[in-house]
Amino acid sequence: MTATVEAPALRAGRREWVGLAVLALPALLVSLDVFVLVLALPRLADALHADGTEQLWIMDVYGFLIAGFMVTMGTLGDRIGRRKLLLAGAAAFGAASVVAAFSTSAAMLIGARAVLGIAGATLAPSTLSLIGTMFRDPRQRAEAIGIWAGCFTVGAIVGPVVGGFLLEHFWWGSVFLLGVPAMVLLLVLGPKLLPEYRDETAGRLDLPSVALSLGAILPAVYGVKELARDGVHLVPVAALVAGLAVGYVFVQRQRTLDDPLVDLSLFAVPAFRTTLGGMLLFSMLGGTTMLFVAQFFQLAQRLSPVGAALGLLPGMAASTVSFLAAPVLARRFPARGLIAGGVALAAAGMATLVFADAAGGPVWPALGFAVTSLGVGPMVALGTDLVVGSVPVRKAGAASALAQTVNEFGYSFGLATVGTLGGAVVRAHGFAAGLHVVAGLAAVAFAVLVRFVVKNLRAA
């Protein structure tokens, strides 16, 4: 009989905190995997004779399939067991990493990356929902989620450093082997440290809904990525329209099912919809602004790639500190005030970037990015905790998957919309002007978001 956790909140002990360390590994690796591939792409493309199209698929298929399968995997974990799904995904991720490392053709590597994407889609919702199961005390759960969220940023910081070292001393495939020891550790320790949970009352997985979710998310993500990369063309526009149309059919089907793939009633909870909307806005504007800041360092201020990375480093460190500090501060202050204050701080940081000068030094834009990043923690850490904590335990997997899908889609959508606008300004006026427009829009949007947070998170 699978244990079902619906007991009153109990404080977690040493076993749960050690289990959190095991759960943090997949979060670190999913983020790290994206950044190390950027460094390895030129070398592997030369070794595998990959043309431009194949290189794009090597880069993009991983993110496409993570976004496409996230909702399905979150709901599947609620039904068959979150630990079971996590361990199956870890095994598949480790095996696909080995295949990717020793690929002998571009097609073989694309296939391995596709499997990595599907396996990766099991990791984030499973780990996040298991955190909700293990840490029933609200304060401890917030702290655990803060640590988990901070691992994504740590992966972004460590990825280029570790990847650069490996590429300097070993062959390109070595970057894909980074995840194998961690997955082996998860497979060994997971059954001993992690509890199993599945919803005993859930019905069968609705396969037509799975197909519709993939038919909605995959074309939509492809469309916005291609629009961001190449501008307005018929194929990506058609893909985006098709994704939206299938998405409408998906939503209508969910309304008729007793056991839907996505429970739309969750959006009736103000805390749930407000935090999801806020996280979407942060991933849209925050990710796009980071890209423009990096370009500003290199193309407007003529810094080297290493210099640009150093300019971004204070912001990445600030976001990590913010992720960890937000749950601690939540012990003494209401989450609503911390989230609203963090959003206001992010707005101030964006406003600072509006005054970045191409002729000036890197200190001012680095400061603006760092202030923005410092404001991210409460929304992401406490917001994720509100999403998971505002739904019944049996629906935590689906809620976790929605939170992660929002982040995946938000970044792509931000590049396709705000990024395209900023790019047009760059072509017409210059890199500083493009950064000013993107940061200015973000500052206004975050200022408006403060009002919604104060209004809709009254009980938080």
SS3 263: coil
Give the per-residue pLDDT at 70.
81
- N-to-C CA span, the chain: 35
**Residue ending a domain, choose from 155, 174, 196:** 196
Residue 219 lies in a domain: no
Domain that holds residue 168: 14-196
The string of pLDDT tens digits covering residues 265-282 is 778 777 788 888 888 888
Whether residue 440 contacts residue 333, with contact meaning beta carbons closer than 8 Å, is answered with no
Residue 345 lies in a domain: yes
269 and 141 in one domain?
Answer: no
Residue 260 lies in a domain: no
Residue type, position 78, single letter: D
> Is pLDDT at 143 greater than 50 in this prediction?
yes
CATH number at residue 62: 1.20.1250.20
Sign of CA dihedral 122, 189, 83, 392: negative
Sign of CA dihedral 160, 162, 168, 171: negative
Question: What total of structural domains would you count in the chain?
Answer: 2
Distance CA 89, CA 153 (A): 22
Q: Which DSSP state fits 137? A: S
**Residue ending a domain, choose from 153, 179, 196:** 196
Q: Report the chain's C-alpha Rg in angstroms.
A: 21
Give the per-residue pLDDT at 443.
93
Give the per-residue pLDDT at 460.
58
Q: Which DSSP state fits 418? A: I
Give the per-residue pLDDT at 459.
58
Q: How far is CA 96 from the centre of its chain?
A: 21
Residue 221 lies in a domain: no
**Residue ending a domain, choose from 196, 222, 257:** 196
The string of pLDDT tens digits covering residues 306-362 is 677 778 888 888 888 888 888 889 888 888 889 999 999 999 999 999 888 877 778
Residue 171 lies in a domain: yes
Whether residue 419 contacts residue 427, with contact meaning beta carbons closer than 8 Å, is answered with no
The string of pLDDT tens digits covering residues 48-65 is 888 877 877 887 788 778
Average pLDDT for 122-151: 82
275 and 187 in one domain?
Answer: no
Whether residue 449 contacts residue 357, with contact meaning beta carbons closer than 8 Å, is answered with no
| C-alpha to C-alpha distances, 17 to 23, 95, 111, 143, 213, nearest whole angstrom | 10, 27, 36, 10, 35
Give the per-residue pLDDT at 282.
85
Residue 8 lies in a domain: no
Whether residue 24 contacts residue 182, with contact meaning beta carbons closer than 8 Å, is answered with no
The string of pLDDT tens digits covering residues 282-310 is 888 887 888 788 878 877 778 776 677 77
Distance CA 457, CA 460 (A): 5
